[in-house]
Structure 1
Amino acid sequence: MNAATSRRELAHPERTEIRLEGVLHALSDPLRLRIVRELAGADRELACSHFDLPVTKSTTTHHFRVLRESGVIRQVYRGTAKMSGLRGADLDALFPGLLGSVLEAADAQAGRLGGI
């Protein structure tokens, strides 16, 4: 593997390394929760450029890194695009019902607060 290829690979925790407190921390931020809701609704990988977040590029990168390092999402490069996908199967295997409950509660909250 050459240096260019190795720089393009992102570190992800193995399923056995994912911790509940890390997942809950990642989901506790409104922007990260918004990213997760969009990924869950898309049911496919989305490019980071797909997300229109009201923060700087560096802050957006930080939010994606927190989600990736906690095991909530998986990111891979496809050409020049960094694609993100929800690790729903891993999360459901480790914490049955957690992700679904959080997404359902977030949807209810968004409806109650007018689409946040």
Structure 2
Amino acid sequence: MTPGASTALPGRALDHPDRADIRLPQVLHALADPVRLSLVSALAATAAELPCSAFELPVTKSTCTHHFRVLREAGVIRQAYRGTAKLNALRRADLEALFPGLLDAILTAYTAPAQARRGA
């Protein structure tokens, strides 16, 4: 195998933008949707990679696939196949290096109304 070659099965590799190719307008667009923002919030709450099936979303499976794809193509998440599962991880380090404080500010704004309702 050549250096840097993927060990993923043919047809199973997913394209991700390099850090240098992540752009703010695409990141903001990806995070503007409430469903995608809920996915990112759940990923931010754990250091673990989560399979797509770990998320309970009020949309169809095909719509979930679309939301994950938008996040991946914007550079917000990284997806990798492990066996038959597609695992998702937040690209926090990449986003923080490019846009310091942005992700935390968006997640804080997203969770603040829920915390206020709970009296936290």
Matched, 1:10 2:30: no
Q: In proportion to residue count, which structure has more helix?
A: 1
What aligned pairs does 1:1-116 form with structure 2 within 5 A after superposition?
Answer: 5-112=9-116
**Structure 1 residue runs of 4+, over 2 Å off?**
109-114
- Taking only aligned residues, the RMSD between alpha carbons, in angstroms, comes to 1.5
The size of the alignment, in residue pairs, is 112
The structure with the largest alpha-carbon Rg is 2
Identity %: 62
> Structure 2 length normalisation: TM-score?
0.88
What CA distance in whole angstroms lies between the structure 2 residues aligned with 1:88 and 1:47?
Answer: 18
Residues 40-92 of structure 1, C-alpha deviation per residue, up to 9 Å, x if partnerless?
Answer: 00122100000010110000000000000000000000111000000000000
> Structure 1 length normalisation: TM-score?
0.91
Contiguous gaps of at least 5 residues in structure 1: none
Contiguous gaps of at least 5 residues in structure 2: none
